[in-house]
Chains A and B, each alone.
Chain A
Amino acid sequence: MDVKSSINPKTIVVNSNAQSKDEVLKEIVHYLYEAGNVNDESEFLKAVYKRESQGVTGIGNGVAIPHGQSSSVIDPGVAIVTLKHPIAWESLDDQKIKIVVLFAVSDNSEGAKLHLQLLAQFAKKLGNDDVLESLKSAEDVQEITEAFE
């Protein structure tokens, strides 16, 4: 299994209309719920906000990587949303956010080790400026997944 195959097309959305951080987080958590990654939306959202309270998740360059670790995560995964209108978000370079990559991590890390390893490799790719550029210019789901090849 490679990094690309760890991305579920059902949890990728291009050009979301969300207008705020709250709105986009709720939207993404809902996708993760529908895709079967999360079994309790409000519990998982709480975990995401807990992490938000601990430090900035905007990594610069218009990208944010919120994440939550919670027992409501039954299948660790990642969701990617690109935004039609950049939104305000606490960020290392004070730029507005165009891409949100949300990681859902289970409490039981032993049982999901392989999956978490893939997520780690996935996160590593987000440290690569070339990947971020391809993500930002992606027009559809396929182009998003191709950015991680």
Chain B
Amino acid sequence: MKIVGVCACTVGIAHTYIAQEKLEKAAEKLGYDIHLETQGTIGTENPLTQEEIDSADIAILAIDVKIKGMERFQNITKLTVPTDIAIKSPTKLIEKSVEVAKSRMSGTKA
């Protein structure tokens, strides 16, 4: 299972990076591969390439504002939530995204 995503909050200084850390830690614990891009006051860090997004199973957009490069996620199943959700229940959010990804996969097979 490979997860990609973006974190971005209103001011771009605190919630963005806390959400990133929480989701990374939660995914790691559950044994999933995760790559999160952050878009904050300092700009984009840890950027995702189109190839990475295309090869992932699901995208989590933990965002409170419009993000740059939204078009990259056109062809992937995505969950969009406020950063608060990622900070409050990171494990639940990862589990939910995996569930969605799995149901999509079995859906395409059938």
Contacts and interface: CB of A to CB of B under 8 A. Distances in A.
A59 B10 contact: no
Interface in B72-110: 84, 87-88
Interface in B1-41: 10-11, 13-22, 25, 38, 40-41
For the residues of A in contact with B, the DSSP-based class is: mixed
A105 B87 contact: no
A126 B88 CA distance: 13
B10 to A, nearest CB: 6
Interface stretch (A10-18, A23-31, A33-41, A116-124): A116-124
Interface string B34-57: 000010111001000000000000
Nearest to A125: B21
A55 B20 CA distance: 18
B32 to A, nearest CB: 17
A56 B84 contact: yes
Interface of A: 51, 54-57, 59-60, 65, 67, 69, 92-93, 103, 105, 109, 113, 116-117, 119-121, 123-129
